[in-house]
Structure 1
């Protein structure tokens, strides 16, 4: 369980988050809203990477700040919006970095660590180029490697800031399916900031933000959530239901017989 109480963040003379109260249990939550809404700042605050003016983040009911760094790193994994790693490292070595919190006193990897690395690379489709250097990869390929590094942690809580950046549509859909699988089959807590609203509408729950505040929380099919989502984007989008096909996401198929999509209002 990850929770936030009365979070407030100020950057310079501007309050960018105001009185945020949230609880995250097993399942996957998408945080959405227009540019400048405070989505990434909120995610950084939940990860313990953003100083707070006041309020508190708790992990498993204990203040996040009280967790020793190694234990916190095993319980909570983080993918930044512009994730980076050394360009001279090979793909497999970058993914192995995700296992650092689990290594023993002498930093020696065990069989289960290598298994976690292999599973993460398979899940993100980067096994074939595991021996290539990160600097040789395209933007989309690099993003898949950084996703694999976060997945390799195998943490109960996974925070992802714009994880679909640089990914083409098939890999965006694969990521959504992966998040749904982790949430449902492995009982993990997934929180993702997403700009692609149609992908976000496949989540178990939406948090709709604008101007540093939460305007709605609920399931994607909730009429109030949908109405609020349209409002925070100034009426520039419309939300429609399409029938679930054989290739639809597991999240949509589990929720209903329709899949919600966001379209521009031209």
Structure 2
């Protein structure tokens, strides 16, 4: 079942920050893969945390299919929205299989028994993230990339219609970055997938981009500069502008590339 996230005149700030880093955000995200991009400090992770219900809005609201997400019970929200943090924490002594099984808690309850269906979902999540071969290893014994794939599998195991991923390619090598992009595109056919990405080349493979612009000096937070498909000229112009002209967008076959614009002449 697909879900629609909607931000209505939203203002957000991280915990402990007095002034909003994002203001007047109006955004609707439905089925497909949406990549949130922008310069450092533009509020990408803050927006994603807001969509996950982990930050209370300073103004406005966030709705899931017309319901304020902060009025949903925590367990109900966790069944609808799966979340992978940028610096995800998990017990280092648990095995990969145990970590991924934690993704089934919203369906089992804290003291619920593991069912055959849960085992099948966990096995599929580990297969999708290519971590099944070391399912019995402890998280503390894994490399950064292996750990990231295990934590991603945990998010997939929730089987939530909304999947929020903050920098999911962190620590992944090139082959696994490509595999993750393909997975997000596939999941986006039936789910609402939203990821924060620093790598613009990967982000341009998404169905849609949300380009955030960092606040300038003075009062007021950042805002959405553009929303559109990877081939949208307005998105390309926004990307060049918010990154200060340091990149250029070029097409190679069916793909769009973000390249450094070094301004060098020979």
Does the TM-score normalized on the shorter chain lie above 0.5?
yes
Partner of 2:219: none
1:195 partnered with 2:191: no
Any idea what the Cα deviations from partners look like across 1:34-71, whole Å, max 9, x if unmatched?
00000000000111111221111111211101111111
* 1:106 Cα deviation after fit: 4.3
Out of 16, 20, 23, which is 1:15 matched to?
A: 20
Task: Return the alpha-carbon distance in structure 2 between the equivalents of residues 265 and 25 of structure 1.
Answer: 33
What secondary structure is seen at the aligned counterpart in 2 of 1:15? coil
The answer to whether the 8 A contact 1:95-1:149 is kept is yes
Out of 249, 256, 259, which is 1:260 matched to?
A: 256
* TM superposition outliers: structure 1 runs of 4+ over 4 Å: none
Unaligned runs of 5+ in 1: 244-257
1:156 partnered with 2:161: yes
RMSD: 1.1
Partner of 1:130: 135
Partner of 1:110: 115
Task: Return the alpha-carbon distance in structure 1 between the equivalents of residues 149 and 143 of structure 2.
Answer: 10
Partner of 1:66: 71
The answer to whether the 8 A contact 1:216-1:224 is kept is yes
1:56 partnered with 2:61: yes
1:76 partnered with 2:81: yes
Partner of 1:142: 147
Out of 231, 238, 250, which is 1:228 matched to?
A: 238
Partner of 2:209: 206
* 1:150 Cα deviation after fit: 0.2
Any idea what the Cα deviations from partners look like across 1:240-260, whole Å, max 9, x if unmatched?
1112xxxxxxxxxxxxxx100
Change (3 A) 1:216 1:67: same
Unaligned runs of 5+ in 2: 215-221
Change (3 A) 1:67 1:219: same
Report the count of equivalent residues: 250
1:37 partnered with 2:47: no
1:97 partnered with 2:107: no
Task: Return the alpha-carbon distance in structure 2 between the equivalents of residues 112 and 65 of structure 1.
Answer: 30
TM-score normalized by structure 2? 0.92
Out of 119, 126, 129, which is 2:124 matched to?
A: 119
Task: Return the alpha-carbon distance in structure 1 between the equivalents of residues 18 and 27 of structure 2.
Answer: 25
The answer to whether the 8 A contact 1:36-1:210 is kept is no
